[in-house]
């Protein structure tokens, strides 16, 4: 039986007692009525997950492990859609797919000024990590212009991809095993021709996605899947409990 997963920023060692937030504690003991002998899973957002037992209204750690992040990491830069529900979908899917960080960007055709990433984004990501049992909470970057985001990724040595309607260069791409990867998604109208040319000159790799004109949330998820499962090299053995492992096996 699958254990219910909860978030705990500081997970104690084996045999120790871990404290969760008041909201999580209310969920465990009031909503779900967990009692002595019941077991739950904890994640800390930094790569640690644990199994805990309920004893006298305390959460006692039975076992814990530190999970190694699959590399190279993939970082998402996207122009948020006007609809908040669409942005929420992007946050949910990013956590479920294992995105390392999420940064909102402003482009020439952005339909709305991105909201300042705040506690609401973190709360949404935490819930998605709990649902998917992803022990790594995606980092949230500050709002950047496209130019600022490009300068950041170039300075930090990223291999960067961007959505482009006119080209498809996905085949034959070789990614350095040590690279950090970035996926840039524009607004629903796409990047402008000027922005396309600017990214190409900066060494960004254009990537055409399957299908027709995609919504921003669809492009974020589809591009992430392609980069993760087709373009990204496997630099380590993928754990059997990694969510995409079965899909990866089929894809290859």
Domain boundaries, the chain: 5-66, 74-246
Domain 5-66, CATH: 2.40.240.20
- CA diameter of the chain: 63
Q: Please report the pLDDT score of residue 174 as a whole number.
A: 66
Distance between CA atoms of 74 and 175, rounded to whole angstroms?
Answer: 12
- Kindly list the averaged pLDDT for each block of 10 residues, start to end, along the chain of length 252: 92 96 96 96 97 96 92 91 91 95 92 72 96 96 95 93 72 66 90 93 88 86 86 50 41 32
Burial class (CB in 10 A: 0-12, 13-18, 19+), 51: middle
Q: Please report the pLDDT score of residue 4 as a whole number.
A: 96
Q: Please report the pLDDT score of residue 250 as a whole number.
A: 34
Judge: domain 74-246, CATH 3.40.1280.10: yes
Dihedral Cα 181, 187, 188, 192, nearest 10 deg: -100
Distance between CA atoms of 220 and 31, rounded to whole angstroms?
Answer: 34
Q: Please report the pLDDT score of residue 38 as a whole number.
A: 97
Q: Please report the pLDDT score of residue 228 as a whole number.
A: 82
Question: In this structure, are residues 216 and 86 in contact, taking their beta carbons and an 8 Å threshold?
Answer: yes
């Amino acid at each position: 039986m699958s254990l219910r997963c909860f978030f705990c920023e500081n997970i104690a060692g084996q045999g120790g007692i871990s404290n969760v937030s008041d909201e999580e504690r209310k969920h465990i003991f009031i909503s779900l009525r967990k009692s002595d002998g019941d077991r739950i899973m904890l994640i800390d957002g930094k790569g640690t997950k644990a199994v805990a037992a309920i004893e006298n209204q305390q959460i006692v750690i039975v076992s814990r492990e530190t999970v190694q992040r699959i590399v190279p990491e993939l970082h998402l830069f996207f122009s948020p859609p006007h609809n908040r529900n669409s942005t929420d979908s992007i946050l949910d899917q990013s956590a479920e797919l294992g995105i390392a960080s999420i940064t909102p960007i402003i482009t020439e055709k952005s339909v709305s000024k991105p909201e300042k990433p705040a506690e609401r984004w973190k709360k949404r990501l935490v819930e998605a990590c709990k649902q998917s049992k992803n022990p790594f909470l995606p980092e949230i970057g500050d709002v950047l212009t496209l130019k600022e985001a490009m300068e950041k990724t170039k300075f930090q040595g990223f291999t960067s991809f961007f959505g482009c309607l006119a080209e498809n260069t996905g085949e034959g791409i070789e990614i350095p095993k040590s690279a950090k990867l970035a996926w840039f998604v524009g607004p629903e109208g796409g990047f402008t021709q000027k922005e396309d040319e600017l990214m190409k000159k900066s060494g960004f790799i254009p990537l055409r996605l399957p299908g027709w004109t995609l919504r921003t949330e669809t492009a974020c998820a589809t591009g992430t899947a392609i980069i993760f499962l087709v373009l990204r090299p496997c630099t380590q053995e993928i754990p059997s409990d990694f969510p995409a492992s079965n899909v990866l096996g089929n894809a290859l």
